[in-house]
Amino acid sequence: MLFNSVEFALFFTAVVLIYFRLEHNHRIVFLLASSYFFYAWWRWEYAGLLIFSTILDYTVALLIHRTSSQGWKRVFLFFSLLGNLGMLFFFKYLGLFLRTMASLLGACGLDTDIPPVEVMMPWYVLPVGISFYTFQTMSYTIDVYRGAVQPTRNPIKVALFVCYFPQLIAGPVLRSAELMPQMDEHHPVDWDRIRLGLLLVFWGLIKKVCFADNLAPFVNQVYAAPETFSGLTLLFATYCFSFQIYFDFSGYSDIAIGLAQILGFNLILNFNRPYLASNITVFWRRWHMSLSRWLRDYLYISLGGNRKGKGRMYVNLMVTMLLGGLWHGASWTFVVWGGLHGLALMVHKMVRGEKAREHHSNPISIFLTFHFICLTWIFFRAEDIGSALSVLTGILTFQPGAGLDFTVPFLVFAFILGVQIFQERRGEIRGYVDSILRQSPYLAGGFFYTAVVLALIVFSRGEESFIYFQF
């Protein structure tokens, strides 16, 4: 059930109407049932994975809390990590592992006949959102192990934390301390919250439907056969993908935050104009902020962070970014993408030390950072390493070849760039819209929402899936 679908609009409308008519102590049960229904709409049998993670981490958290033995705490935490990461490996990385093993054995001259995992198990499919909810549920047991939070005895709260439907599929990745306490709060009908939530939802839909989806056909056509297109076309397609993935993913995050806000919940910000960052360190403070925070707090710091000398810090940075790249997808292209960002972070730390501050007045730094990010997106978008190198080589050598009609993507691209610059200098557009709606709620509101709905209808290319659903 996609956020940009009629089915979801009907589903969420029904959820809101029922939710606010229920007594407070029945609401989290209703939200839990709604979340399972939302996930089961895709494939009902895979809802069992959510239940497995919930039972595992609910039990482990209580066991960790009840024992005073540090050794047993580590054992219990190990079982939580083993269960969640084992599930993630089986459903997401088993195919990559088998392909890599077959390639290595073939390189050694051994005759191998390892069929693709899809042939061995025809039912095998990547569960939607598995990378997000496994990371989120693991953070709960790790926080209990570290003594950062107290475990709850209410399994309904843990279950809802794992599968809360607005952010279940693609984040933001939350911590239990950010969501569970809100389940105990009473959320009356608040029209100000609902109006602001609707603004976020519609802004996210505009990002997705009007911007990202209209850049996608151009990008798909060019990246499907990069060797046939000119270097200029390859470069422009790379620019287009940079904005496609940003508006696709940040659009999902805006919709998720807006939906939660309508229901009375606050989710954390996930994007903050990352392409206007003046260096790579600041970029990762602005891009997919909830994942960056997770990688920092649960992986980088666990590896030692910067506490064991500069050499170890650089190693920890690289390992974190390599694993962060692999988290995005079961392909070596994602590992290369993560490695390039890890290398850039290392170099920036070497040059700037720990003083990696923002420099708003340095357009050259912003320009260079943006273009480095765009070039690394090539490995993120390409089907394989060979295709990525073909795109990169074509751009750097000004490869001759075919061109495409740039009109539609160029207009979208130019409008997007203008929006980004306006927001950096004047603040979020939705803040201006909200002030207008406050002054004239009926006339301006009717005009605004009518215009948005018409724009979504006119520019829609169908119910296109979100890019991060495949991760």
* pLDDT, mean over the chain: 86
Q: What pLDDT score does 198 carry? A: 87
Contact 416, 247 (CB under 8 A): yes
- Evaluate if residue 17 carries a pLDDT over 60: yes
Tokens describing residue 242 = 């940079």
In this predicted structure, what is the pLDDT of residue 425? 55
- Asked whether residue 122 carries a pLDDT value surpassing 70, the answer given is no
Per-residue confidence (pLDDT) for residue 418, from 0 to 100? 65
Mean pLDDT of 187-203: 87
Q: Among 26, 187, 328, 360, which one carries the catalytic annotation?
A: 328
Q: Give the pLDDT of residue 71.
A: 93
Q: Which residues contact 451 (CB under 8 A, 6 or more apart)?
A: none
pLDDT of residue 149: 93
3-state helix, strand, coil in the chain (%, to 5): 75, 0, 25
Confidence at residue 28, expressed as pLDDT on a 0 to 100 scale = 94
Q: What is the pLDDT at residue 468?
A: 77
**Which pLDDT value is given to residue 95?**
81
Would you state the pLDDT for residue 406? 65
- Per the model's pLDDT, the better-predicted residue between 122 and 315 turns out to be 315
pLDDT tens-digit map of 266-300: 999 999 889 888 899 999 999 999 999 999 999 99
| Structure confidence by residue, pLDDT tens digits, 415-459 | 666 666 555 555 555 554 555 556 555 555 666 777 777 777 777
Give the mean pLDDT of 311-317: 90
Choice among 18-22, 95-99, 330-334, 387-391 with the minimum mean pLDDT:
95-99
Give residue 137's pLDDT band: very low, low, confident or very high (50, 70, 90).
very high
pLDDT at 444: 59
pLDDT for residue 109: 72
**218 has a pLDDT exceeding 80:** yes
Span 229-246, pLDDT tens digits: 888 889 989 999 999 999
What's the whole-number mean pLDDT along residues 209-217? 88
| Greatest mean pLDDT range, 110-114, 168-172, 449-453 | 168-172
Q: What is the pLDDT of residue 392?
A: 93
| pLDDT score for 310 | 84
Mean pLDDT calculated for residue range 180-190 = 91
Dist CA 33 CA 158 (whole Å): 13
Cα–Cα distance, 76 to 57 (Å, whole number): 10
Name the band, by pLDDT with cuts 50, 70 and 90, for residue 5: confident
Active site residue 328: yes
Tokens matching residue 382: 């390409």
pLDDT above 70 covers a percentage of the chain that reads 86
On the question of pLDDT at 68 being above 60, the answer is: yes
pLDDT for residue 100: 79
pLDDT for 407 beyond 70: no
Q: Give mean pLDDT, residues 353-382.
A: 81
Among 287-301, 304-318, 344-358, 443-457, the least confident range: 443-457
pLDDT of residue 440: 56
Confidence grade of residue 357 (pLDDT, cut at 50, 70, 90): low
pLDDT at 174 exceeding the cut of 90: yes
Q: Among 192-201, 264-273, 379-388, which is the least confidently predicted range?
A: 192-201
pLDDT bin (cut points 50, 70, 90) of residue 171 is confident
